[in-house]
A = this chain, B = another copy of it.
């Protein structure tokens, strides 16, 4: 099974069989958030897509070291031109706080949201500001290898020189000539030799609170350096998978490849994996475009674009119902469809518990099982895998209601195992209804009492009371079904 997992490699533009460098270990690095604001739906998508990759690789039996960083320094407002204020410092200035207070606050927010979304914590979550020495060491290597230069206390990557021997742009497919012609001219006093050169170390102006000593100046690292340095530190000079959003493909990941190649002489990543974006009114949802809906707003239903609140599991399911490389269009209709879909799936899980085994199976469980794995092995297609699970729900319902269909003990165990594995372990979904179980248990007992009283009323001919009990329960969202053995109840 595990040898059949194929994943799309952005670098080769092909679906490739996943073969780890050092099995059973797998190194996975994913670009995490820049923590200067509340996480939004776009952040949830990347985190959830790579959470499922992490879970699926573990399910396949790999020992995964998953590193997801926190960017807390060096990400400037204009990250294409290495200009403007540091995003964290800007927020600190506006909120009159120390930058690290901003970092702490928004990291906590991010972690809280991730927990609600049932995103597993990564194995290591390194911070850029906590790895200054490692970044400086990397910059030194690039200078030693002649591919960076120092000017005015800052260090820049020499892209022109690098391009003579290496193919800059091979990840994103961009051409250096075209990039150069579309880039604005540098001012006369600029320190860069070429407008495409990017900062590895920036000398800090007096307005920069976050600065550290170095042999070049008191300053701070360029944005792209952290991922190269921290990936190398925790996953080795060459590792299996580097992930991130498609919006990071250029320039961030392209620059990362250039840095690592310049320092180590070769590629540092085997598979580059990118998740697509969430669009809202045909635009990418992003903080900088000011069209983002935060996760807090989504869970509370408090945003003008929202008709209602959506639970974390609805949001998770909404994201998983699309393939990770397709765009997702935000709409209330789509979220409400996901809500219904999730309910259908969870009802299927409940129904699955009630099936009793027969002597012989009339259903083909292996086919269903294989079709789910096939979807996941085919570039982690959660959308197709979910549609297969929906087929299975139809099958489950017919096993419960149709007397001609039957399933033997072994097949039933397989079916239950399949749903448990896919729904809970791989997709990371939770049954939100079950969360408040103690109070729910009491509700069950109280409802039983009421139904017994209803039966008594019926028996003594007091149909008015019997009907009233049923209709009041109905008003409370409790649906009562008469069954052979007595009755069942459920929430609407």
Contacts and interface: CB of A to CB of B under 8 A. Distances in A.
Interface of A: 65, 98, 100-101, 103-105, 108, 111, 121-127, 129-133, 137, 212-213, 234, 435-436, 438-440, 442-443, 445-447, 449-450, 453, 456, 465, 469, 472-473, 476
Contacts of A130: 127, 129-131
Contacts of A443: 439, 442-443, 446
Contacts of A453: 450, 453, 465, 469
Contacts of A131: 130
Contact of A450 (B103, B125, B435, B450): B450
A212 B129 CA distance: 15
Contact of A104 (B98, B123, B438): B123
Contacts of A104: 121-125
Nearest to A121: B108
Nearest to A123: B101
A472 B456 contact: no
Given A442-B443, A446-B450, 16 more contacts: A100-B124, A100-B234, A104-B121, A104-B123, A104-B124, A105-B123, A127-B127, A130-B131, A132-B132, A133-B133, A133-B212, A137-B213, A436-B440, A443-B446, A450-B453, A453-B465
Contact of A476 (B442, B450, B476): B442
Nearest to A67: B100
Contacts of A122: 104
B469 A449 contact: yes
A137 B98 CA distance: 21
A465 B472 contact: no
A453 to B, nearest CB: 6
A234 B446 contact: no
A449 B126 CA distance: 55
A430 to B, nearest CB: 15
A236 to B, nearest CB: 10
Given A125-B104, A439-B439, A446-B446, A133 B213 contact: yes
A24 to B, nearest CB: 12
17 contacts: A65-B98, A65-B101, A100-B126, A103-B124, A127-B130, A132-B133, A133-B213, A435-B436, A436-B436, A436-B438, A436-B439, A439-B439, A439-B442, A442-B443, A446-B446, A446-B447, A450-B453
A282 B111 CA distance: 39
A68 to B, nearest CB: 10
A363 B131 CA distance: 61
Contacts of A465: 453, 456
Contacts of A126: 100
A130 B72 CA distance: 12
A132 B213 CA distance: 12
A310 B348 CA distance: 36
A14 B100 CA distance: 34
A19 to B, nearest CB: 23
B445 A476 contact: yes
A54 to B, nearest CB: 14
